């Protein structure tokens, strides 16, 4: 059965381009078009879409207002498609994630992205992934018992090195998961935190601004030559890999994408594991694909501690699942339990190296 998509866009040019891209897939049917949020809200019970694609700026009812109403009346996956990358607009776009939207995607423009095969395939694949997302699941608070992977007993009795760094990787659903995790870290958190989030060009600073609102620790893009400092959160830049040099300082790399991504979670995880060894904590959050799985394995093999987000709280259980299947995840937890587990790790007795 084909995936039913409702397009909500006040620009006729963008609407035509999106419809052309999605209709090129034999597995997708565009079952409705709306120029305002209000029009879309009236269409939903009639066309019963599996996925809604909406812009931010629209007359009468904007994307944020529409998302709020949809999640109250007709919960289903929402993909925000916007060209807005100015600071204020970018912050507003991420507010749609607070309201229940699942992900963000750049809007095609005439002569720029509409005929790009990579862009087309990414959008179609994104729709396919989101069509299987059960949006109500990520809002439930789940119990933490019985969520340890089978091989964790072998790790629980071991002594670990005192952690000196935390490294986190995420993709689809990552902004929401990162907000949940990072907002729980206290002001006196004693370690540097290095994050790699798959995100489209132009949206990274907006993500950081959005996360900063509810976070006690300063958040910034990692800069070449800087040494990771305790109590600070660093993000990989757009379109470049983030690694550590022999002195433990940040460096950028233009080497080819890994698992289709640059920055790649695996590249950063592997580099951090090489420098910090047993003193590294690796966390792999929601996301499609398998980027980060081999990197988490490198952390585990170096003697570090690894945590994967569980399936029930993941928007897409792709990257964490790949790590679990490799045997690289020493513990699997719902997103709301990861920060408390991290803090409990810091209160344990560790071996000093």
Q: Where are the domains of the chain?
A: 3-135, 142-345
Low-confidence ranges of the chain (pLDDT < 70): 84-89, 110-115, 136-160, 349-353
Rg (CA), the chain: 20
Cα separation, 302 vs 275, in Å, equals: 10
Please give the positions annotated as active site: 171, 198, 291
| Check whether domain 3-135 has CATH 3.40.50.2300, yes or no | yes
* pLDDT for position 108: 81
The whole-number pLDDT of residue 350 equals 52
Beta strands in 222-323 (DSSP E): 233-235, 241-244, 250-253, 280-284, 305-309
- Judged by phi (left if over 0) then psi (alpha if -120 to 50, else beta), residue 205 lies in alpha
**Predicted pLDDT of residue 145:** 39
- Two tokens, residue 133: 């997302």
For the packed helices 63-73 and 37-47, what is the interaxial angle rounded to 10 degrees? 30
H-run or E-run covering 8: strand 3-8
Distance CA 143, CA 147 (A): 9
pLDDT at residue 352, rounded to an integer: 45
Q: What is the pLDDT of residue 111?
A: 61
pLDDT at 160 (0 to 100)? 63
Q: What is the pLDDT of residue 93?
A: 86
Domain 142-345 classification at class level: alpha beta
Are 3-135 and 142-345 in the same CATH fold?
yes
pTM above 0.85, yes or no: yes
């Amino acid at each position: 059965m084909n995936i039913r998509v409702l397009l909500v866009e006040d620009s006729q040019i963008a609407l035509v381009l999106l419809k052309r891209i999605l209709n090129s897939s034999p597995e997708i049917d565009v079952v409705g078009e709306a120029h305002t949020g209000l029009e879309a809200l009236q269409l939903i019970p009639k066309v019963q879409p599996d996925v809604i694609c909406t812009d931010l700026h629209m007359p009468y009812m904007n994307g944020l207002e529409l998302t709020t109403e949809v999640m109250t009346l007709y919960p289903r996956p929402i993909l925000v498609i916007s060209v807005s990358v100015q600071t204020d607009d970018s912050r507003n776009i991420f507010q749609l994630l607070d309201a229940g939207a699942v992900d963000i995607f750049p809007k095609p423009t005439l002569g720029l992205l509409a005929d790009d095969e990579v862009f087309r395939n990414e959008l179609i694949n994104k729709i396919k992934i989101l069509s299987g997302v059960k949006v109500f699941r990520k809002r439930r608070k789940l119990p933490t018992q019985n969520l340890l992977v089978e091989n964790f007993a072998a790790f629980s009795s071991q002594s670990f090195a005192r952690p000196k760094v935390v490294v986190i990787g995420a993709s689809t659903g990552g902004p929401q998961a990162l907000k949940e995790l990072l907002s729980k870290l206290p002001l006196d958190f004693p370690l540097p935190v290095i994050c790699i989030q798959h995100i489209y060009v132009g949206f990274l600073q907006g993500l950081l601004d959005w996360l900063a609102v509810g976070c006690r620790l300063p958040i910034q893009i990692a800069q070449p030559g800087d040494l990771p400092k305790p109590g600070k959160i660093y993000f990989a830049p757009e379109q470049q890999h983030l690694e550590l040099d022999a002195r433990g300082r940040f460096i950028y790399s233009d080497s080819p994408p890994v698992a289709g991504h640059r920055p790649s979670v695996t590249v950063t995880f592997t580099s951090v594991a090489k420098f910090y060894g047993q003193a590294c904590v690796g966390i792999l959050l929601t996301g499609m694909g398998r980027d980060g799985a081999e990197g988490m394995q490198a952390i585990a093999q170096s003697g570090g501690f690894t945590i994967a987000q569980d399936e029930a709280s993941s928007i897409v259980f792709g990257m964490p699942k790949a790590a679990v299947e490799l045997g690289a995840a020493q513990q699997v937890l719902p997103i709301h339990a990861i920060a408390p587990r991290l803090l409990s790790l810091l209160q344990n007795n560790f071996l000093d190296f």
